[in-house]
Amino acid sequence: MKYRMLTADVVNLLLGGGEATPKGIETTALEMVRTGRLQGEQKADGTLTVRTIPSTADSAPLRPVEALVVERIRRRSRSGVDRVPIGALGPGDGDEFWVWWRDFQKRVRDEATALGLIRPARNKYVTLTYRGAALAAWFGALWAGVSWSPVGIRILLQAVLVLSLLGLVRLSDVPLGSEPRLTAEGRQAVREWRRTHDRDGEHRLPKRQVGAAGPESALPVRESRQIWSSYGRTWHVVDAGPLDPPRWGHLWQFVVLAVTVCVGSVAMLVVSLTARPPYGWEWDTAPVLTGVLLWSLWLPARRHVLAVPDESSFRGAVISRWDYDTHHDDPHTDITHYCCSIEDPATRKAWSFEVDRWSRPMFSHEANPQLKDRFRVGDIVDVQCSPRQRKIRRISVVEAASRAD
């Protein structure tokens, strides 16, 4: 029964096996609404919005996690709106969210650790030692078995040894660090919560998590996703297009396809006429059938490409910002790509572009804060671009968001 009073963020971490998920932001905000620390309001479309409440002399102090949620609401309210939808508190504004999210995860872990529900993450060198000892024991036992076993069992052990060696290739994908794990009391708390509460659905893990691997799952880098925007002083959801240009559906691909099919058809016709005995009709029609199949795959992709405007000019708002690194061996350089999604208010879409890049020698830790801070979430910009090619012709800041945060 003592687990009934666990806070929403701790419950989210427990149901996540020791990892806080973005669902914890929403449930923490809902808990603060229930306890009167935030003011909630249900809009006509069913969206729940929250706003901060001025503190008074008799107000109870906020917990560290609650203080972060209040900070997040104030940050998301900087575009002239005082209410923020619950969903807009989660992922969406790129690396600005990621910096805040690391603090949120840390404070939730500290709270759960103080209650004895999780044990801290293990040092990576200690983890590497444990795993190395386990591998040495496994391969040592197999080698001893191969050396001293009868012929039949020896062949079986040799096969297991080979498969185990091949399995070592996958070890490069295994993280060295060990994430926080639930203690026995933490596992008991999960069982007790699920047994005594019917609200565990509201703490259920989201389909996409933001974990230790990086912020990519919160960013529109590789696929379209919806992002909350307050441009125009009204909260709405914007479909953000991917950063990468389309790989299939281009006109030159159709030309190459048509030429290849024609050459293949002529070649097969000549071969079938000169062959002894002559080939059947299946060989003559194979290139044509292949071309029809590829055409049926190319045409929908082409329509998708043409649906994106080739040229566009608009005044919009930066609603997401992030960066990623690429490595080049010749010359040995690391390149940081600074990207952002810019909302086009006429279409309620956000086009994603690379707006800057910074090159530096490989393995260096240099940074360029001028480029990183050139565009911030909330900036109003004039853009001339090609959304189809994911290229910016011209971009300039009309109204800069506050740099105080």
Q: Residue 197 CB: number of other CB atoms within 10 A?
A: 15
Q: Where are the alpha helices (DSSP H) in 149-250?
A: 151-167, 184-196
Please name every residue paired with 386 in a beta bridge, in sequence order, or none if there are none.
Answer: 391
pLDDT tens, position by position, 16-64: 888 888 888 989 999 999 888 899 988 887 888 999 988 877 778 889 9
How far are the Cα atoms of 228, 290, 296 from residue 293, in angstroms, in the given order? 40, 5, 5
Where do we find the tokens 């950063």?
243
pLDDT of 265? 73
pLDDT of 217? 46
pLDDT of 96? 77
pLDDT of 403? 67
pLDDT of 222? 37
pTM listed for this prediction: 0.69
User: How far apart are alpha carbons 93 and 225 in whole angstroms?
Assistant: 12
How far are the Cα atoms of 201, 238, 251, 253, 394 from residue 43, in angstroms, in the given order? 23, 18, 47, 49, 38
Q: Residue 368 CB: number of other CB atoms within 10 A?
A: 15
pLDDT of 219? 43
What is the separation of C-alpha 171 from the centre of its chain, rounded to a whole number of angstroms?
23
pLDDT tens, position by position, 285-299: 666 677 777 777 788
Which is nearest to 301 in space by CA: 239, 254, 255, 353? 254
Residue segments in the chain with a per-residue pLDDT below the cut of 70: 1-4, 79, 122-123, 169-179, 198-224, 269, 271-273, 275-288, 403-405
- Please name the amino acid found at residue 287: P
User: How far apart are alpha carbons 116 and 286 in whole angstroms?
Assistant: 68
Burial of 8 (0-12, 13-18, 19+ CB in 10 A): buried
How far are the Cα atoms of 95, 130, 259, 302, 340 from residue 373, in angstroms, in the given order? 11, 43, 48, 37, 11
Percent of the chain whose pLDDT exceeds 70:
83
Q: Where are the alpha helices (DSSP H) in 168-314?
A: 184-196, 251-274, 281-306
pLDDT of 216? 47
What is the separation of C-alpha 332 from the centre of its chain, rounded to a whole number of angstroms?
28
Which is nearest to 229 in space by CA: 338, 81, 353, 374? 81
Burial of 43 (0-12, 13-18, 19+ CB in 10 A): exposed
Whole-angstrom Cα Rg for the chain? 29
- Please name the amino acid found at residue 139: F
Instruction: Evaluate whether 284 touches 332 at the Cβ level (below 8 Å).
Output: no
User: How far apart are alpha carbons 24 and 100 in whole angstroms?
Assistant: 14
Which is nearest to 342 in space by CA: 77, 94, 71, 84? 94
The string over 276-285, giving b where at least 16 C-beta atoms fall within 10 Å of a residue's C-beta and e elsewhere, is: eeeeeeeebe
How far are the Cα atoms of 86, 123, 178 from residue 175, in angstroms, in the given order? 33, 12, 8
pLDDT of 66? 93
